Amino acid sequence: MIARENPARSGELVGCVPATEPAAVDSAVRRADDAFREWSKIPITERITALLGAAGAVSARSEELATLLARESGKPLADCRGEIGFAVAFLRWVCDRAPITLAPTEIDDAAGRLVVRRKPYGVVGCITPWNAPVILALLKLGPALVAGNTVVLKPSPLAPLAITEIVSLLPAVQVVHGGAETGRALVGHPLVRKVAFTGGDAAGREIAATAGAMTTPSVLELGGNDPAVFLPDFALADADYERLVMASFATSGQVCMAAKRLYVPRARVAEFTEAYVAAAERILVVGDPLDPRVTMGPVISAGAAARIRALLAASAGGTAVPLGRNAPGHDPLSGYFVTPRLVVGLDDDAPLVAAEQFGPLVPLLVYDDEEEVLTRANASELGLGASVWSADEERAFALADRLEAGFVFVNTHNRTGMSLRAPFGGIKRSGYGREYGEEGLLEYVHPAVVHAPAAFRPGGTGMAAGAYPG
């Protein structure tokens, strides 16, 4: 069994799930492959009806599921409600867009007749992380299922409970539980026809290698070290600073697309720092995730807390400014709590700047001119997200076009800048493929072509055996 503790009260057991041995992974994949024969034959309208029914069932249990998610993940209850609601909204959006996006296209003209159909792959193997276990699973399950695939899902053992409950309400999904060995058995199975993964770049490289050995196509959404660039004319009200603080510290900073490097012009750094610290004092409240006053809970595990503290200790030369406040009565020793901090005075090669911190620490970095900050922002091997902040939207878009990132926010960052219609994913070592938008739907189908060239249709002139098409 896999037992899950409450990271806010580390002695409290939240629940357990059965561990899946590699042989049982084989059985789950084979069940999914058998189910694919029937599920893929069902008209898309009927698949949509089934998925909309599941969305309604999840919504009806949202409070129960949000509480379970808060207890197993350490995310504040309001965030958990928001995540589940957003996942339901995404599933409904997928159902709305799928008939148009996945419809076949046909051309019948003087050049011939060409039909392109978008067909499901078969069994999709999905491996998802613990930091947003519901939405990051539904981003894969929704498009895969509506397109006619079946799914075998392996959630993270650090947050398996709420998503397992949700998946029980969905059609055509098998769930397996375990660590790396279970994941390898899933990704390397010969009946898995597509792989979708969200997580760290080290695990992503292993998954890509395993899938590549099987010539299985994959979608990988990996880590990020997102720069937030404030141009000299930035104009932020108090509410903007509060939104910026949460762009770094939501989910205790354990978000791939969090604002992880703040680049501020030298002439305005004192003003920025004062306003940022004041905003954090107003909005950042640390404590038990079930306390309605709390906006930041613990990190996911004791190991995560130790890694984050070691990263701070290794970043010599900086000054760490504590942010926010504890909720009344909160005991920081009750779980895996790490004090949120703004770290100033670091060089670009400090570990906290060069690496993805994935925790409640964010460095503030000073720059002098636009070309300099562009070079420094692009220096990372990761290229998931970035943001540009400016009173001049055209200037912001111009700089955004030169940033090496798959998704650039303007005057916001993290989830407040997302859109269901906007494809999201990384470049460089942040992965490949896209989620959200029509591109996210199309990841789960392959084009199947039927073509009758005009030369070989009735009345056609034919072509010589060695001829090239005109």
> Collapsing DSSP states into helix, strand and coil, what is residue 389?
strand
pLDDT value at residue 232 = 98
Structure tokens at 14: 């939240």
The 10 Å Cβ neighbour count of residue 340 is 23
pLDDT value at residue 350 = 96
Encode pLDDT of 207-229 as tens digits: 999 999 999 999 999 999 999 99
* Average pLDDT of the segment spanning 115-119: 98
Indicate whether 201 pLDDT > 90: no
Pairwise CA distance, residues 97 & 326, whole Å: 44
The answer for residues whose C-beta is within 8 angstroms of residue 203's C-beta and 6 or more apart is: 180, 183, 197
Pairwise CA distance, residues 236 & 367, whole Å: 18
* Average pLDDT of the segment spanning 251-276: 98
Sign of the C-alpha dihedral computed for residues 300, 304, 309 and 312 taken in this order: negative
Q: Which of these is catalytic: 83, 221, 404, 435?
A: 221
Residue pair 153/137 in contact (Cβ under 8 Å)? The answer is yes
Position 456 confidence tier, pLDDT thresholds 50, 70, 90: very high
Pairwise CA distance, residues 402 & 408, whole Å: 10
DSSP 8-state symbol, 115 = E
DSSP assignment of 58-104 equals HHHTHHHHHHHHHHHH---HHHHHHHHHHHHHHHHHHHHHHHHHT--
* Average pLDDT of the segment spanning 56-75: 98
User: Model pTM?
Assistant: 0.96
pLDDT value at residue 316 = 84
Residue 278, Cβ density class (10 Å: 0-12 exposed, 13-18 middle, ≥19 buried): middle
2-6 and 9-17 beta bridge pairing: antiparallel
Structure tokens at 330: 């909160």
Indicate whether 470 pLDDT > 80: no
Structure tokens at 139: 């981003």
For this structure, is 221 an active site residue? yes
Biggest CA–CA distance in the chain, Å, is: 86
Structure tokens at 106: 């046909």
Rounded mean pLDDT of the chain?
A: 97
Q: Is 394 left (phi over 0), alpha (psi -120 to 50) or beta?
A: alpha
Q: How open is the CA angle 133-248-367, to the nearest 5 degrees?
A: 145
Pairwise CA distance, residues 16 & 5, whole Å: 9
Pairwise CA distance, residues 341 & 362, whole Å: 7
469 versus 449: the higher-pLDDT residue is: 449
Structure tokens at 208: 């890509």
The answer for residues whose C-beta is within 8 angstroms of residue 29's C-beta and 6 or more apart is: 123, 125, 152, 174, 186, 189, 191, 192
Q: Which of these is catalytic: 126, 256, 404, 435?
A: 256
* Average pLDDT of the segment spanning 355-372: 97
- With CA atoms as reference, report the closest residue to 12 among 95, 58, 70, 77: 70
Q: Is 414 left (phi over 0), alpha (psi -120 to 50) or beta?
A: left
Share of the chain above pLDDT 90, in %: 98
Structure tokens at 39: 């599920």
Indicate whether 256 pLDDT > 80: yes
* Average pLDDT of the segment spanning 70-96: 98
Encode pLDDT of 292-306 as tens digits: 999 999 999 999 999
Pairwise CA distance, residues 340 & 251, whole Å: 11
Q: How open is the CA angle 180-304-419, to the nearest 5 degrees?
A: 80
pLDDT value at residue 382 = 97
For this structure, is 256 an active site residue? yes
